[in-house]
A = this chain, B = another copy of it.
């Protein structure tokens, strides 16, 4: 019997982060690991020895199937940043003591940039102290900003939700026609990278014009130029729908949402919490044109709408979890599993592992040559990139008319 596995989830949840958890659990069991433990609220919980025995919750394949259909972090998430090793060795010593106490040989962490940093520090410390435990990162973020991997699990489902909801909003916004011209501004997540906002373009097809303008944070935003473009559009059509990233910013670096006097809340990683740019711009549009305007924020729905998950994304999330656990059990450490796309039509992927040192804290942005029309749309290159990622559906298990979830309260 091999040693035990522990798995944690970290950072903002996604629609498919639990599919990666399902993949880890399945691999651990199939490949003969001992127990599979979960960290309750990531390494923050781990440091408090808040550890869950997953045998109490997931006993059969139906549980795994329901886990895949459950949004948000089943184990609970955290935004806890490990201190640098130098001068904080007691924190690391404590973590390894807990691992030894629970006979944990394989440590899997599902997360984004900050979480890959955790894997890097732990594997560096293990190397330095000659510890036997293996540490593998499982990529996860709706933001799609992890480098080296073609795309990140979580992105496809968020993109599918955004494209679907954008299409439904465009349909709604068109309904009154010329009798009530409305400018609708939809705010989409993405602090520095415009991947999520770009997904609004996926709504365009023979039955939908798509949004009229798409603004990403990769390109400086000019409010006056924006208002001119809206005026021109409103002169031509009665329904104008615009997608903006929450992170759009002026040439001087100020966020557009700051212009409206919104709050300065800063999270535990020092990231400024953004919201309100759609609402600010909608007010500016009405002032400048007299037109009715509406601001819509997709808000947390874009990261938790598992009822709209992409089958491709669910499967890939599961696979990266499975492969990471398998790699750890085969002796790999200090690496993240990545997705390689060998062909986009037909869509062919393979998985690989990459040194975590090349990944941690690098943000991948939308390439500048994929942003077209004077910074107001994304090109066919982006669409070719993203289209395969939103294909396929996974039906929720319905109970009393709404999707059923697996939770830590459903103890066997």
The interface of chain A, by Cβ under 8 A from chain B, is 13, 40-41, 44, 70-73, 76-80, 160, 163-165, 167-169, 171-180, 184, 202-203, 205-208, 263, 265, 268, 283, 286, 292, 294, 296-297, 299-301, 303-308, 310, 387, 390-393, 395, 398-407, 409-410
A388 to chain B, nearest CB (A): 8
Q: Which residues of B are found within 8 Å of A70, using beta-carbon distances?
A: 171
- When C-beta atoms are compared, the residue in chain B nearest to A166 turns out to be B402
B297 and A206 form a contact (CB under 8 A): no
- When C-beta atoms are compared, the residue in chain B nearest to A407 turns out to be B207
B168 and A410 form a contact (CB under 8 A): no
A319 to chain B, nearest CB (A): 19
A387 and B400 form a contact (CB under 8 A): yes
Q: Which residues of B are found within 8 Å of A395, using beta-carbon distances?
A: 393, 395
A153 to chain B, nearest CB (A): 16
Report Cα–Cα, A169/B173, bound state, in Å: 25
Report Cα–Cα, A405/B180, bound state, in Å: 22
A204 to chain B, nearest CB (A): 10
A304 and B168 form a contact (CB under 8 A): yes
Q: Which residues of B are found within 8 Å of A76, using beta-carbon distances?
A: 174-177
A401 and B180 form a contact (CB under 8 A): no
Known contacts A180-B79, A387-B400; is-contact A301 B165 (Cβ 8 Å): yes
Known contacts A176-B77, A307-B168; is-contact A390 B399 (Cβ 8 Å): no
Known contacts A306-B168, A401-B391; is-contact A79 B179 (Cβ 8 Å): yes
Report Cα–Cα, A305/B27, bound state, in Å: 37
B296 and A296 form a contact (CB under 8 A): no
Q: Which residues of B are found within 8 Å of A310, using beta-carbon distances?
A: 401
Q: 6 interchain pairs (CB within 8 A)?
A: A76-B177, A163-B402, A172-B300, A172-B304, A205-B402, A265-B292
B179 and A80 form a contact (CB under 8 A): yes
A169 and B297 form a contact (CB under 8 A): no
Q: Which residues of B are found within 8 Å of A403, using beta-carbon distances?
A: 164, 167-168
Report Cα–Cα, A174/B9, bound state, in Å: 13
Q: Which of B71, B390, B399 contacts A171 (CB 8 A)?
A: B71
Known contacts A41-B179, A401-B160; is-contact A172 B13 (Cβ 8 Å): yes
- When C-beta atoms are compared, the residue in chain B nearest to A273 turns out to be B292
Q: Which residues of B are found within 8 Å of A180, using beta-carbon distances?
A: 79, 268
Q: Which residues of B are found within 8 Å of A404, using beta-carbon distances?
A: 205, 207
A160 to chain B, nearest CB (A): 6
Q: Which of B169, B292, B308 contacts A300 (CB 8 A)?
A: B169
A239 to chain B, nearest CB (A): 11
Q: Which of B163, B171, B208, B307 contacts A308 (CB 8 A)?
A: B307
B41 and A171 form a contact (CB under 8 A): no
Q: Which of B79, B179, B393 contacts A44 (CB 8 A)?
A: B179
B294 and A300 form a contact (CB under 8 A): yes
Report Cα–Cα, A167/B76, bound state, in Å: 16
Q: Which residues of B are found within 8 Å of A265, using beta-carbon distances?
A: 292
Report Cα–Cα, A387/B407, bound state, in Å: 22
Q: Which of B13, B71, B168, B208 contacts A301 (CB 8 A)?
A: B168
- When C-beta atoms are compared, the residue in chain B nearest to A18 turns out to be B171
Max chain B C-beta neighbours (<10 A), residue from A203, A307, A407: A307
Known contacts A76-B175, A207-B405; is-contact A294 B305 (Cβ 8 Å): no
Q: Which residues of B are found within 8 Å of A72, using beta-carbon distances?
A: 168, 171-172, 174-175
Known contacts A175-B72, A175-B76; is-contact A299 B296 (Cβ 8 Å): yes
A144 to chain B, nearest CB (A): 16
Given A205-B400, A207-B406: 16 more A-B contacts, CB < 8 Å = A13-B171, A13-B172, A72-B174, A76-B174, A76-B176, A78-B179, A168-B307, A169-B300, A180-B268, A205-B402, A207-B409, A208-B405, A297-B297, A301-B301, A390-B401, A391-B401
